[in-house]
Amino acid sequence: MMITHLKLTNWKNFKTVDVDLGKRVFIVGPNASGKSNLLDALRFLRDVAMPTGGGLQQAIGDRGGVSAIRCLAARQPSHIELCVKLAESSKDENPWSYELGIEQERRGNRRPRIQFERVSRGDKRLLERPDAADEADEERKYQTALEQTTFNKEFRDIAKFLEKIEYFHLVPQMLKYPQAFSGPDLPGDPFGRGFLDNLARVGPKKRDASLKRIESMLRLAVPQLSSLEYVEDGGKPHLQAMYRHWRPDAGIQHETQFSDGTLRLIGLSWSMLQGSGPLLLEEPELSLNYGIVERIPGLLHEMRKKKDRQSFISTHSEILVSDKGIELDEILLLIPNNEGTRVIPCSAIEDATTLLSAGFSPAEIVFPKSRPESIDNLELKF
Amino acid sequence: MLRMHIVYEDAVSLAVIERMIGAHRDRLTIGDHHHGQGFGRIKANIAKYNTVAERLPFFVLTDLDTKQCAPGLIAQWLPGSKAPHLLFRIAVREVESWLLADREGFAAYLGISAANLPRDPDSLLDPKGEIFRLTRKSRSRGLRQDIIPEGLASIGPGYNDAMPRFVRSGWNPETARKYSPSLDKALRALNDYLRSH
């Protein structure tokens, strides 16, 4: 299954978004245009659908409340709306659609509640809320049907699918200096603070198989590295790598000594190999060498082919988007303005197909459009 | 051992250079990799490569694409004289023609009959298009998904994996040179360079 269409109203930077989505979605735009917020709309649906530790109230609460989510440019209507179409492929004749409208109580605790919630498959409407029961008992409006396994029997497939959305952005410092990061865990461990604990939880067979694959890739990317394995030391999980060194015993390193790039690459490969739902990657190019970055689109294609997983990638990397195998409609361009950010597929850019047929790479078409005009005068007054 | 710096356009031409230089691994190793990012940037930088090649061996591989002829392109890009250590080779029309020229090898990779492959790949105006046409005949769904573009893109989403894989493991330049004069000239140029240095 994949997300074939996304529609948002008043979501963070976006007053409206209405775009088709392909198997890979590359998100490009200037700083603060809302790339992460676009990914967050999908994470939000995941958080709502999660049966434990999730749900509407939690998902909104984790994001600082309705007022922190609602687009600053929002006027009327002022509610927040997230709609997705889900299908087996772009040719699926019976696509699912899930629509959620969220409003805030006008007084009292100003809790978020559903304004509407609809599910259909093809032409068939499976859920239409608020219904009579909601009107009879207002308290019901504080929970979505998506999060309630007792209610979502008819559309549990989409709840299960949304639940599998995975966002992974391993921040190397979280692993290197765990003592510096306290506070409660975030849903889905997005920044990899619990990466080692997650490794510990995966069954040894599966873990070793994945680490073997990562090891063979790492040996190409980091030629000095000769092995990567999972070890437990005093009950604590660790990654251990062996580096070729002129002193044979000197080459053992634990994850706290790995380079940022090595950790990022391990996290990136792990998230591609594990999991089965759509994968959201935030600037996967960070800390990685050119030669690796240019392989990312191909790896994501491979992941789609072998594991039927869709991917969403926010990026500032021209190298990543220069792969000529990327279709223009796989790239979403974010264009900020005073009325919120607009999202358009790169194929809608004027002259895009002319540029493409003249031999321009997708990066050469899209990046000139994502450069803020004022950047020419960039300075920092010292 | 001679270190040769290389300038290439894309993943396929990189793999081709690696094979060409790899055939002389007793004397040659690859030095720095310069990604030209398509012929535009190679053209912009060719004068710099030429200057450096007064002293250091440089191998530049580019496509002829829609230009008239290879000598014409060289004259246009390098109006002065060519430096002694510059090997500037142009694939007619694209490096893909050189791959198609290994008729048996590429047919085997796709799992189709070699009779389908062109006898004069250098004369093809759109060698990539020919590769897509042939790949459509392949029974391998994976290769079709990789190589053929779904929309308007110039190559398929896994082209930069699938084609270099062929170059590394299936392509035989010695067979291919029989059908591609342009490849034959490039291989001879490398041989001649090594003989005189």
Full residue range of the structural domain in which residue A223 is found: 191-276
Residue A56 lies in a domain: yes
- The SS3 assignment for B8 reads strand
* Global ipTM: 0.88
Interface touch A327/B154, C-beta < 8 Å: no
Question: Is A260 within 8 Å of A169 (Cβ atoms)?
Answer: no
Query: Domain check: are A161 and A296 in the same one?
Result: yes
Residue A171 lies in a domain: no
Q: Which of A258, A276, A294 is the last residue of a domain?
A: A276
Q: How confident is residue B160, by pLDDT bands cut at 50, 70 and 90?
A: very high
Q: Give me the mean pLDDT over the A132-153 stretch.
A: 92
Query: Domain check: are A15 and A138 in the same one?
Result: yes
Q: Which H or E element spans position A89?
A: none
Residue A175 lies in a domain: no
Q: Which of A276, A298, A331 is the last residue of a domain?
A: A276
Residue A170's closest CA among A249, A283, A329, A58?
A283
CATH of the domain at A354: 3.40.50
Interface touch A327/B149, C-beta < 8 Å: yes
Q: How many domains does chain A have?
A: 2
What is the C-alpha separation between A55 and A163, in angstroms, rounded?
Answer: 11
Query: Domain check: are A104 and A8 in the same one?
Result: yes
A356: exposed, middle or buried (Cβ count in 10 Å: 0-12, 13-18, 19+): buried
Residue A259 lies in a domain: yes
Q: Residue A90: its chain B contacts at CB < 8 A?
A: none
Question: pLDDT exceeding 70 applies to what percent of chain A?
Answer: 99
Which residues 6+ apart lie within 8 Å of A127 measured at CB?
A117, A118, A119, A145, A154, A155
Neighbour order of strands in the sheet with A225-233: A225-233, A236-243, A252-254
> What CA–CA distances, in Å, run from B67 to A85, A160, B46, B93?
46, 55, 17, 9
Q: How confident is residue A280, by pLDDT bands cut at 50, 70 and 90?
A: very high
The Cα of B192 is separated from the nearest Cα of chain A by a number of Å equal to 31
Question: Residue A107 pLDDT > 90, yes or no?
Answer: no
Question: pLDDT exceeding 70 applies to what percent of chain B?
Answer: 96
Neighbour order of strands in the sheet with A279-282: A166-167, A279-282, A311-315, A24-28, A331-335, A342-345
In the structure encoding, which two tokens stand for residue A364, read together? 């050469």
> What CA–CA distances, in Å, run from B45 to A339, A377, B60, B190?
43, 28, 11, 21
Question: Residue B36 pLDDT > 90, yes or no?
Answer: no
Any B CB within 8 A of A26 CB: no
What is the C-alpha separation between B150 and A326, in angstroms, rounded?
Answer: 10
Residue among A327, A359, A361 whose CB faces B151 most closely: A327
Residue among B33, B142, B155 whose CB faces A325 most closely: B155
- The SS3 assignment for A111 reads coil
Query: Domain check: are A196 and A299 in the same one?
Result: no
Q: Which of A222, A243, A276 is the last residue of a domain?
A: A276
Query: Domain check: are A153 and A260 in the same one?
Result: no
Q: Give me the mean pLDDT over the A133-147 stretch.
A: 94
What is the C-alpha separation between A232 and A199, in angstroms, rounded?
Answer: 11
Q: Which of A324, A326, A330, A331 would you mutate first to test chain B, the one with the most B CBs within 10 A? A: A324
The Cα of B73 is separated from the nearest Cα of chain A by a number of Å equal to 17
The pLDDT, as a whole number, for residue A255 is 92
Residue that the structure tokens 């609602």 belong to: A70
Question: Residue B39 pLDDT > 90, yes or no?
Answer: no
Structure confidence by residue, pLDDT tens digits, A325-356:
999 999 999 999 888 999 999 999 989 999 99
Question: Is A113 within 8 Å of A105 (Cβ atoms)?
Answer: yes
The Cα of B50 is separated from the nearest Cα of chain A by a number of Å equal to 25
Structure confidence by residue, pLDDT tens digits, B47-102:
999 999 999 999 999 887 665 677 888 888 888 888 999 999 988 889 999 999 99
Residue A333 lies in a domain: yes
Question: Residue B154 pLDDT > 90, yes or no?
Answer: yes
Q: Give me the mean pLDDT over the A93-108 stretch.
A: 93
Residue A154 lies in a domain: yes
Q: Give me the mean pLDDT over the A2-18 stretch.
A: 96
Residue A105 lies in a domain: yes
Query: Domain check: are A289 and A253 in the same one?
Result: no
Query: Domain check: are A290 and A150 in the same one?
Result: yes
Interface touch B158/A305, C-beta < 8 Å: yes
Residue among B35, B39, B158 whose CB faces A325 most closely: B158
Q: Residue B10: its chain A contacts at CB < 8 A?
A: 324
Residue B95's closest CA among B188, B190, B28, B19?
B19
Residue A125 lies in a domain: yes
Query: Domain check: are A287 and A333 in the same one?
Result: yes
Query: Domain check: are A93 and A228 in the same one?
Result: no
> What CA–CA distances, in Å, run from B43 to A48, B12, B56, B88?
53, 18, 19, 11
What is the C-alpha separation between A194 and A213, in angstroms, rounded?
Answer: 21
Find, in chain A, the residue whose alpha carbon is nearest to that of B156: A325
Query: Domain check: are A198 and A323 in the same one?
Result: no
Q: How confident is residue A9, by pLDDT bands cut at 50, 70 and 90?
A: very high
Query: Domain check: are A257 and A363 in the same one?
Result: no
Query: Domain check: are A286 and A149 in the same one?
Result: yes
